A and B are shown apart, each in its own frame.
Chain A
Amino acid sequence: MLKIENLHATVDGKQILNGLNLTIPSGEIHAIMGPNGSGKSTLSYVLAGREGYEVTEGSVTFGEVDLLAMEPEERAVAGVFLAFQAPVELPGVGNANFLRTALNAVRRAKGEAEIDAIQFLKLARARMKVLNMPDDMLKRPVNVGFSGGEKKRNEMLQMALLSPKLALLDETDSGLDIDALKLVSDTVNSLRGPDFSALVITHYQRLLTHIVPDRVHVLSAGRIVKSGGPELAHELEASGYGAIQDAAA
């Protein structure tokens, strides 16, 4: 599904990713852990196509296509979804209108029929019920005045509606209480299947007890320094990143 080879990337001329290799087969969920500044968020932005993140070397193949050659909206249509670490506020844009516009933009690009307002509301309300989101969150402007937990649940609502092939969860657990964490995890787990992969970026092992990953990778100084099964997350929780960074150095 996703194949990252020898990826080097700079932000504002500063080298952040230094030859990162990572393969996520279809149907698998991988976790990336690592200390602050190791390049976790940069990786998610490079994969989603954010301006200002310059790839200087290496390749990213998504399915059969060169992901790095695509515009951000083309990547979304192809099935890449980035759940933002700090979800963006859109004052003056109603949440329901935004969600329907996004959904129909993706459907149009895929040659599928657009969905009308009534169908949309039905779909959205069903998803929101699972996420324990009150109806009025559809009427409010996107993420404006939302609590940290509401913003993250709104990201999950977008993900559920757009049903991506590859979800990039950038510290989706940050700022969540245990109930919200569980709702987020349930949403990800509900999408699990042979056509869904995810890259879960996190500081803490906590999220990974709810979303149990197939593989765990440790990122340090812009490259993967250690990979293992779910037990690696527990080891890290016990020993910290220091030992691994020292060993890699």
Chain B
Amino acid sequence: MTAISSTGPAAFLGRHEGLRGRLPGAQLPWVEALRDRSAAAFRAQGFPTRRVEAWKYTDLAVVNASVFGEPLTAVDDALALPPAAGPRAVFIDGRFRADLSALEGLPFTVENLASALPRLESRLGALARPEEQSLAALNGMLFEDGLVVTVPESVEAGVLELFSFATESERAPAFHPRHLVRLGAGASLTLVETAAGPATARYLHNPVFEIEVAEGARMNHGRLQQEGRDAFFLSTVYARVQAGGTYDNFTMNAGSRLARNEIHVALCGPKAECHMNGVQLLADGQHADTTTALDHAAPDCSSRQTYKTVLSGKSRGVFQGKILVRQIAQKTDGYQMNQALLLSPDAEIDSKPQLEIYADDVKCSHGATVGELDAEQIFFLRSRGIPLEQAKAILVEAFLTEAVEAVADEAIRDALSRAVTGWWQRQGIQGGIEAA
């Protein structure tokens, strides 16, 4: 592999060529075809530049210029995981670790993609669009492993945790897990996902989710992105929701140097619902981008989005939200709100709502606000004896409250509250509000 470029698309395309025959599913013609199709799409697009409309505010030049290696196969026994509170699947550098996971005796099926591959022809790639999303193409070309969850009809699966950890490595590993979730009619699942890694390690985590929610099923998807501060987190979620089903996504972007949280949801049957909420907590030097695309493709569906971004230091936040209401989607009820709180004059937020409506009987609204902490509120808190830094922390917490309270699932809300508190502590800010 010495003759090929060490950075950019050429490096990844070269890796695909070099690993041909050794990547999982190499013996399966449909997998080979999927990888080749993805490689062609990635070759055509490369890493998107800011000339591409969907990437206007997020520059991948730094990813393009970085040298990445293969994840190590060595077992990292030193990894300290908290004991499993319930079922969980653990991935290290994108590879499933049965020894660290706890998945016995579940009333639904959890597998790892590398082993389940022969049975996934109808599922893998059913939703992802490599020709449109270059990072999904990169993932389709090089995926090795992932989580495959199948919840049978009417089964209440409860909470499943997905841990993704990166290890400390000089090789700057790039990994591209492909996760598949399928809920049968009337089934439910809460998936709580944590992505984390060493504070100073450079790596690229490029997961793609394909999520199918059948009639009347409910998927709660909580995502806590706490990657190391030198990491790149480029994530694409595709979800398809059938009649009466609900997909509820909550994402916290707090880690990584550069994060893209891209979510595509299609509401394909009447009375399907989608909730997408999230918070982005950004400190000096961080860039986080939440990009949502909601496709109202059936009548009587509703969607709710509330995103809140807190920016300190020299950080940059991006929110792009597109709502497409097709002609058939009468009685659509769509709502989108994006709010940013700037704690520093060097921080920047870019916001781009986009409504495309072809039906005539719809209710669709969007709003965006950008503000600083309110001087009168700070003075009020200080006049009651609360020190300045604590007063600020209380008001930031309050700003986030609306998005956090929109989270229906208790397990996700609790995990989120802990994560927000942890973020504060890492900023060196002691004490927000005290519970009474």
Contact = CB atoms under 8 A, between A and B. Distances in A.
A48 B382 CA distance: 10
B436 A117 contact: yes
> Which has the most chain A C-beta neighbours within 10 Å: B381, B399, B436?
B436
| A contact patch SS | helix
Most buried by B among A73, A124, A138: A73
Contacts of A93: 394-395, 397-398, 433
Given A84-B380, A162-B384, A105 B390 contact: yes
A92 B384 CA distance: 18
Contacts of B433: 93-94, 97-98, 101
Contact of B436 (A72, A75, A90, A121): A121
B386 A91 contact: no
Interface string A81-93: 1101001101111
B66 interface: no
A76 B376 contact: no
Given A50-B379, A92-B398, A100 B434 contact: yes
Nearest to B376: A88
Interface string B367-379: 0000000011101
Contacts of A77: 385
A76 B383 contact: yes
Contacts of B391: 73
Contacts of B434: 97, 100-101, 104
Contacts of A96: 436
Interface residues of A, number: 40
Contacts of B383: 48-50, 72-73, 75-76, 81-82
A87 B401 CA distance: 21
A218 to B, nearest CB: 26
A120 B436 contact: yes
Nearest to B382: A72
Contacts of B78: none
Given A51-B375, A100-B434, A92 B382 contact: no
A93 B433 CA distance: 8
A197 interface: no
A150 to B, nearest CB: 16
Interface in A51-67: 51-52
Contacts, number: 97
Interface residues of B, number: 27
Interface in B394-435: 394-395, 397-402, 433-435
A202 interface: no
Interface in A4-50: 48-50
A148 to B, nearest CB: 17
Contact of A90 (B375, B380, B382, B400): B380
Contacts of A141: 398
B379 to A, nearest CB: 5
Contacts of B394: 90, 93, 98, 101
A212 interface: no
A208 interface: no
A104 B399 CA distance: 22
A71 B382 CA distance: 8
B387 interface: yes
A207 interface: no
A50 B66 CA distance: 50
Nearest to A116: B436
A106 interface: yes
Between B377, B379, B386, B434, the greatest number of chain A beta carbons within 10 A of the residue's beta carbon is seen for B434
Contact of A100 (B376, B382, B401, B436): B436
Contacts of B54: none
Nearest to A100: B436
A185 interface: no
Interface of B: 375-377, 379-388, 390-391, 394-395, 397-402, 433-436
18 contacts: A51-B375, A72-B382, A73-B386, A76-B382, A76-B383, A88-B376, A88-B377, A90-B377, A92-B400, A93-B395, A94-B433, A98-B381, A98-B394, A99-B436, A102-B385, A105-B390, A141-B398, A162-B384
Interface of A: 48-52, 71-73, 75-77, 81-82, 84, 87-88, 90-94, 96-102, 104-106, 109, 117, 120-121, 124, 138, 141, 158, 162
Query: Top 9 A-B pairs ranked by shortest CB distance?
Result: A92-B398, A92-B401, A76-B385, A106-B385, A102-B384, A100-B436, A72-B382, A96-B436, A88-B380
Given A72-B379, A93-B397, A97-B434, 8 more contacts: A48-B383, A87-B380, A90-B377, A91-B401, A94-B436, A99-B436, A105-B386, A105-B387
